[in-house]
Structure 1
Amino acid sequence: MLRISKLTDYGTVILACLAAQPERLLTAAEVAERTRLGLPTVSKLLKKLHRSGLVVSTRGSHGGYQLACPPTDINAARILEALEGPFALTECSGEASTCGIEDSCQVGHAWQRVNAAIRRALTEISLAQLAGAERATPTVAPLTRMPRATSSATD
């Protein structure tokens, strides 16, 4: 199953918290209180987000954290890559493939197309949309249920 990690989910919650007050520096303790996440987890994720360039930190008694750029300029793909590394569904889908059967694989090209489509979809969703400040416009038609086949008593 394709699923982001709990820490990536929490990292997105932290970014949404910072996006809610972009003009204000928030301490790790304030972020922990507002998100109801543990302070050690928040501190760890803020450091990782800072290293990736999504968050800036200011030291001192009036210091704290804030987004490095507007939430509309941060997309879901960038968040995932900051917290989980390069996006790749399969070994051959990433930029640096080390797959031993890539030359003879019959399904690799299809997985690369799937990977590219998912990554493209992730780049179209901003942190502002994830945080609920801006409605996401679906670019893919929603799934609909197929009508059930009915059989009549006369069949």
Structure 2
Amino acid sequence: MRLSSMADYAVVTMSAAARHCGGSRVSAAQLAEETGLPVPTVQKLVSRLTAAGLLRSSRGVGGGLKLARPAAAITLADIIEAVEGPIALTPCVDDARHECSLDASCAVKPHWGVVGAALRGALADVPLTRLAATAQATETGR
């Protein structure tokens, strides 16, 4: 399993935003500069992360971005789902999608939901505070 580049970049962007969580707001351009990501990519991610309720954006003097809730209350699962949608290893767990020719007779299909729930649970156990602290320690050489 591998995350898409956008999901990876969303985690990097949210980690950078979390390091500003002391109440100060940050711009998408600042996040781009801090992360090394292109500004248009960060702007696209900020839009998705805001729509998902992970970031809050305000305009005008003193405006900018800040976490919509405490970093400890945002998980890796939340960030990935904001960009990728629900976490699932195979499309067959979504009853609305029928992309597999084995769908009607697959003996494994009933088990994918359990596997997906375990994966989501593992990702939900990683709070943004841990990701931001790890990134900060790496940057400072700790």
The alignment's TM-score, normalised by the length of structure 2, stands at 0.84
Aligned equivalents of 1:80 and 1:110: distance in 2? Answer: 22
CA deviation string 1:41-72 (max 9, x = no partner):
11111111111110000101321001000111
Structure with the higher helix share, 1 or 2: 2
Displacement after TM superposition at 1:97 (Å): 4.4
Unaligned runs of 5+ in 1: 134-155
Identity %: 40
Displacement after TM superposition at 1:8 (Å): 1.0
Which gives a bigger RCO, structure 1 or 2 (Cα 8 Å, sep 6+)? 2
Aligned equivalents of 1:33 and 1:79: distance in 2? Answer: 20
Aligned equivalents of 2:4 and 2:77: distance in 1? Answer: 14
1:6-155 residue pairs with structure 2 within 5 A?
A: 6-22=5-21, 23-94=23-94, 96-99=95-98, 101-132=102-133
Q: Superposition RMSD on alpha carbons, in Å?
A: 1.6
The alignment's TM-score, normalised by the length of structure 1, stands at 0.77
State the number of aligned residues: 131
Unaligned runs of 5+ in 2: 135-142
Which structure is larger by alpha-carbon Rg, 1 or 2?
1
Displacement after TM superposition at 1:102 (Å): 4.1
SS at 1:131 equivalent: helix
